[in-house]
Homo-oligomer: A and B are copies of this chain.
Amino acid sequence: MNSNTLARLVITCADRPGIVAAVTSFLFAHDANITELDQHSSDAGGGRFFMRIEFQTERLDVAPEILEREFGAVVGLRFAMDWHLHFAARRLRMAVLVSRHDHAALELLWRWQRGELPVDIPCVISNHPDLQAAVGAFGIPFVHVPFSAETQAAAEQDILQRVADVDFIVLARYMRVLSAGFVAAFPNRIINIHHSFLPAFAGGDPYGQAQTRGVKIIGATAHYVTAELDHGPIIEQDVVRVTHRHELDDLKGLGRDLERQVLARAVRWHVEDRVLVDGNKTVVFA
């Protein structure tokens, strides 16, 4: 598929008959060529409606911005939709927040460098200076913003200014808890990687908790950040088997591999508009 002429339309609204017909008839009337369509209704009667459409724009009869305006005026309004249209030629802007553990952040930068992650990364921000060189090697600005209980308000203000124009933020093992105010500025636009299979082992030291409990499988969870710690909508999870032979360092090592993979998938899906939020859950059209 040609990604320069690719567009994605994502819709959430109250379910009622006729939405698919209205949306696809609109697109057809404007010569959009649908190549992938996923639709889900949470309940046959009175539930929520979710849809994601990929289409090619080569033969559009109007300019993209006209299509967008028309859609809102004609279809979006009629069904009181929460919708957005993303022309893939416009790359999303992603900020990365990280502390000392580098694996999750570097995995993203690595994929970005390889062209696997079509975003722009204006900056990587950390509450520690440790990763300055590693991030710099990718040609990405690294910003050290100290963050303690005392400085939290100022630190968050600093960060908010620096990320004012990004589309979303990734917490790639950022070990500080952001305030409800900060989170509210990026609703469902902050992705965190938690190093456990949530809801098991929320909070601190999940690998230690897992070892103490003697589980046979450990996991990692990528989720949107909400005001309540580790309770936001889950985007993706994955697991790996462990045995009695794995010491704490082994769990952390296996966990790092999981975290990298799970976070990378979640970020890619977010970038590709595959993640729709449904209350405290997600619909992922992957």
Contact = CB atoms under 8 A, between A and B. Distances in A.
B25 A21 contact: yes
Interface stretch (A85-93, A173-181, A212-220): A212-220
A275 to B, nearest CB: 10
A245 interface: yes
A28 B281 CA distance: 29
A127 interface: no
Interface of A: 1-2, 17-18, 20-21, 24-25, 27-28, 31-42, 44, 50-51, 56, 102-103, 106, 110, 114, 116, 137, 197-201, 213-217, 219, 233-239, 243-245, 247, 253, 257, 261, 278, 280-284
Contact of A33 (B44, B50, B284): B44
Given A34-B39, A237-B217, A44 B56 contact: yes
**Shortest 3 CB-CB distances between A and B: which pairs?**
A214-B281, A37-B39, A21-B24
Contacts of A284: 216, 243-244
A140 to B, nearest CB: 15
A214 B244 contact: no
A44 B1 contact: yes
Given A17-B33, A245-B40, A217 B214 contact: no
Contacts of A2: 44
Contacts of A114: 102-103
Given A17-B32, A17-B34, A38-B39, 11 more contacts: A1-B247, A20-B20, A37-B39, A198-B200, A198-B215, A199-B200, A213-B280, A214-B234, A216-B236, A217-B237, A244-B281
A234 B80 CA distance: 42
A259 B247 CA distance: 25
Nearest to A1: B44
Contacts of A106: 110
Contacts of A283: 244
A217 B25 CA distance: 36
Nearest to A5: B44
Contacts of A34: 17, 20, 39, 41
